[in-house]
Amino acid sequence: MIPGFVDELEFENVRLEEDDEGFFCIHFKINGMEYELFCEGKDLPYEICHSSIPHECEFCGPNDDDTCECLNVFLDEIYVKLKEHPNIRMKLLFMK
């Protein structure tokens, strides 16, 4: 693990989208590239995917994979950072 890697990421356009089954997804951008972090419930993050099309990722490079292997290494840390974001914090607070 690279110390401080997650602290240096700048998350933009952070928003949370819920589905009917209690799952939710946090959308965010890093350097203009879009990602989605899927959660199976509060504090149960399970995967970060590329959502820019085509998949161009400064961490993985150009690729065809939905999963961002590079950011997934830091899944828990990234989730903790996103949770602190004002757009997310309030929503999570009221989520069961």
Q: Return residues touching Zn ion (CB under 5 A).
A: 57, 59-60, 68, 70
Other C-beta atoms lying within 10 Å of the C-beta of residue 46: 13
Residue with tokens 């949370």: 16
Compare residues 32 and 41 and give the one whose CB is closer to Zn ion.
Answer: 32
Judged by beta carbon, residue 39 or residue 48, the one nearer Zn ion is 48
Q: What is the closest distance, in whole angstroms, from the C-beta atom of residue 58 to Zn ion in the complex?
A: 8
Q: Whole-number minimum distance, CB 82 to Zn ion, in Å?
A: 16
Neighbouring-strand partners of residue 56: none
Q: For the CB of residue 33, give the shortest distance to Zn ion in the complex, in Å.
A: 8
CB nearer to Zn ion: give 18 or 65. 65
The tokens describing 50, both together, are 């590329």
CB 24 within 8 A of CB 94: no
Q: How far apart are alpha carbons 38 and 50 in whole angstroms?
A: 11
Q: In angstroms, what is the minimal distance from the CB of 63 to Zn ion?
A: 7
Token pair listed for 72:
């997934």
Nearer to Zn ion, 49 or 92 (CB): 49
